[in-house]
Structures are given as C-alpha cells and as structure tokens.
C-alpha cells in the first residue's frame, strides 16, 4: 500500500512539472500506447543494423501482452510474428501486417530530428514512420491489448506480422533504370523525358477526373495497359530498359457483398459512423504476394484528418487521432476474429 501511494505522488509531481512545458494536460503523453509508439519511433529502422532493436522492442511488448512471439529470417532479415491463438484453430486466421523498417530521412530538412519522436505544442509527434507504418503496428498491438483485457476470446487466430523490407517495396513500386551508353546519351534522355512528360500530362487529366483519394487507377508503372517498353524505342538505339520489379498480373480481392471479410470490415466501420470508399492502392505491395496465393487482402488505416506525409520530410501524426485508431481497430479485429467459417 505504502509503495503504491508513494509512486502515485511521484507521478503527480512529474505531471504538474511537465504541464507548462509541453501541454501534458491535453496531450496524452502518459498513455501507454503513446509511450510505446514513441519508443518504437525512436528506433532508427531506416538502417538495417537497427532492425534487431525493433525485434527486441516487439518481443518485450508481445510478452507484456501475453502473445506468442516468433522471428523468421527467410532472406537473412527478420520478420516478427505475434500470435493470439483463436478458440477454434481450424478456422482461417487473420493476419495484420505492417512494416517495422522505414525509408531514410534527411535530418537537415526536418523541423525536429526524425528519430526523436518529438511532440509539438499541437500534440503532433514528428518521426519517420509516424504514418508509414509504425502507427499501424502499434495500433494493432494496443487494440489486442484492450481485447485481452476484456477477456475477449476470438474464434480465429490473430497474427500481427512486422515486415523488414520496405527498401525493396519502395523501389519496386515503379522504379526503373535506363542504361545509356554512347556520347548522345543526353539527347536520348531528352527524347525519353518528352515522352514521359506527355504521359504524365495524360495522368494529370486522369487524376482530375477521380476522387482525390483514389490514386489507384493512375499510378501506373505496374499497370500493363501501358507498354513501357515502347518508351525505350523513343530514347533510341542502345537504350536498355531494366525493371527492378515487374508484375505482369495480380489477383484481386473483391470489395462487394460476396466477400464476407470486406462486408465485415465495411459494416464495422459504418457502425462507427464512418463511410468507407474502396480504392486501389498500388503502394501496398505486400498484399500483392498474399493475393497471388489466393488469400483475400484488404488495407485499412484508421487515421483520419491527417495530411499524407508518407516518405516526406516532417512526417507526423496527431496523438489524439492516433489513439482514436485503437477504438476502430479494436472493433474491426473483434468482428473479423469472430467471423464464422466461410462455406
């Protein structure tokens, strides 16, 4: 009793001191989910040598919540899998995916150091990965912490997976290299740029005709309708087009009433007063691999009213909005985890 009382007093003193400096009263800095999020953001996982720090962090979070923890290294780099076994293990499981690595950040261009997880006066936390995708990883874990606290036992097994290879993903979403030997390389490049600029112009027209959030139909380099090889011809002889990654085909996951996973996701979100508008998002390339195994895959990030800062300088997220995401994932995971067998 005495020990607990003493601890409470110390906590209160800290609280009062912190208040004028950084607005602790409004900003939930002491919330465990926020503290875990900031710890995770502080690990510079743009560097491969730090990936195991993230693995250690996730391992300790996992044991705190009471989840099974496994690390796989299929390509020499670690993938973490946190597992909450379901009541009926014969049911297909639900996999919640995110990346633990982040793209690099040029500190000189940031307001605050990209791995300091600084919280400003508006309760925004600045860090590389704040939106892409360390927020999502922590939101999954914290939603499951809450479900476990309520003694909810879900019928399906839940796996939370943390992938390590964003570097590959980033280059794979549309990068291509050109080799231009010979002394007229610049002219070739000029011709090629003209073709690409014209193409870009047509994309802009497509953009204008779409909803602002629907960037699927016109982010184009892995869409086969465009014959990218013909571009090399414009550049002239001796030009070679090299794909870092090329997908000729990918299976789709339907977003209609025939897909119970989609219906469950949509209904859960709708019940929380939010309307979902499905889009095609070419950047989420992990899903491509999963879908090619015939497994339905959907992407959903419960982060509202936020300017997209993916891969940009000064990436940030508001901590209030971040915390709201836990409520939403909690409902989504509960309903998907209890989705009956699909016959």
Q: Both tokens of residue 73?
A: 């290294």
CB nearer ligand NAG, residue 64 or residue 88: 88
Please tell me whether residue 264 binds ligand NAG under the rule CB under 6 A: no
270-289: contacts with ligand NAG (CB under 6 A): none
Q: Which residues of 188-219 are buried (b: 16+ CB within 10 A; e: fewer)?
A: beebbeeeeeeeeeeeeeeeeeeeeeebeebb
Which one of 56, 64, 68, 121 is in contact with ligand NAG (CB under 6 A)? Answer: 121
User: 224: which residues sit within 8 A by CB, 6+ positions away?
Assistant: 248, 249
CB nearer ligand NAG, residue 130 or residue 255: 130
Is 159 marked as a binding-site residue? no
Is 311 marked as a binding-site residue? yes
Please tell me whether residue 23 binds ligand NAG under the rule CB under 6 A: yes
Check if 101 is active-site: yes
Q: What whole-number distance in Å separates Cα of residue 44 and Cα of residue 343?
A: 45
Please tell me whether residue 83 binds ligand NAG under the rule CB under 6 A: no
Is 132 marked as a binding-site residue? yes
Which one of 53, 92, 148, 167 is in contact with ligand NAG (CB under 6 A)? Answer: 167
Give the distance between the most distant pair of CA atoms in the chain. 83
Can you say whether the dihedral through the CA atoms of 4, 9, 10, 14 is positive or negative? positive
Q: What whole-number distance in Å separates Cα of residue 141 and Cα of residue 60?
A: 12
Which one of 26, 35, 274, 342 is in contact with ligand NAG (CB under 6 A)? Answer: 26
Task: Return the percent helix, strand and coil in the chain, to nearest 5.
Answer: 40, 10, 45
* Residue 83 dihedral angles phi and psi, to the nearest 5°: -125, 135
CB of 87 to ligand NAG, least distance (A): 6
Size of the site for ligand NAG (CB under 6 A): 21
Q: What whole-number distance in Å separates Cα of residue 64 and Cα of residue 148?
A: 12
Residue at shortest CB range from ligand NAG? 48
Q: Both tokens of residue 330?
A: 């909690």
Which one of 18, 81, 221, 331 is in contact with ligand NAG (CB under 6 A)? Answer: 18
Active-site entry in 44, 101, 135, 286: 101
93-112: contacts with ligand NAG (CB under 6 A): 101
Q: What whole-number distance in Å separates Cα of residue 28 and Cα of residue 22?
A: 11
Which one of 1, 5, 21, 74 is in contact with ligand NAG (CB under 6 A)? Answer: 21
Which one of 83, 93, 155, 264 is in contact with ligand NAG (CB under 6 A)? Answer: 155
Active site residues: 101
Residues that bind ligand NAG (CB under 6 A): 17-18, 21-23, 26, 29, 45-48, 51, 88, 101, 119, 121-123, 155, 167, 338
Cite the annotated binding site by residue number.
99, 132, 311
């Amino acid at each position: 009793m005495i020990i607990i009382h003493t601890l409470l007093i110390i906590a209160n003193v800290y609280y009062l001191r912190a208040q004028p400096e950084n607005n602790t009263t409004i900003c939930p800095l002491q919330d465990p989910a926020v503290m875990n999020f900031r710890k995770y953001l502080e690990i510079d996982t743009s560097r491969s040598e730090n990936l195991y720090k993230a693995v250690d962090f996730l391992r300790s979070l996992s044991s705190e919540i009471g989840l099974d923890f496994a690390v796989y290294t299929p390509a020499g780099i670690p993938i973490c899998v946190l597992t909450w076994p379901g009541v009926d293990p014969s049911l297909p499981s639900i996999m919640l995916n995110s990346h633990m690595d982040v793209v690099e950040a040029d500190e000189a261009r940031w307001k605050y150091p990209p791995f300091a997880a600084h919280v400003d006066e508006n309760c925004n936390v600045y860090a590389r990965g704040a939106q892409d995708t360390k927020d999502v990883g922590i939101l999954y874990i914290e939603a499951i912490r809450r479900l476990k606290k309520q003694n909810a036992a879900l019928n399906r097994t839940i796996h939370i997976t943390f992938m390590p290879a964003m570097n590959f993903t980033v280059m794979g979403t549309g990068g291509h290299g050109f080799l231009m030997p010979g002394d007229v390389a610049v002219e070739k490049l000029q011709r090629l740029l003209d073709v690409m600029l014209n193409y870009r112009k047509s994309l802009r027209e497509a953009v204008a005709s779409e909803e602002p959030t629907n960037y699927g139909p016109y982010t184009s380099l892995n869409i086969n309708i465009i014959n990218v090889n013909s571009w090399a011809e414009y550049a002239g002889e001796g030009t070679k087009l090299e794909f870092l990654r090329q997908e000729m085909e990918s299976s789709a996951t339907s977003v209609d009433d025939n897909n119970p996973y989609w219906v469950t996701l949509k209904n859960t979100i709708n019940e929380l007063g939010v309307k979902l508008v499905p889009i095609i998002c070419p950047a989420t390339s992990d899903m491509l691999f999963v879908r090619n195994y015939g497994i339905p895959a959907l992407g959903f990030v419960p982060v509202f009213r936020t300017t997209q800062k993916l891969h940009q300088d000064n990436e940030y997220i508001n901590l209030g909005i971040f915390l709201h995401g836990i409520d939403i994932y909690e409902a989504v995971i509960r309903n998907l985890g209890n989705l009956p067998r699909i016959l």
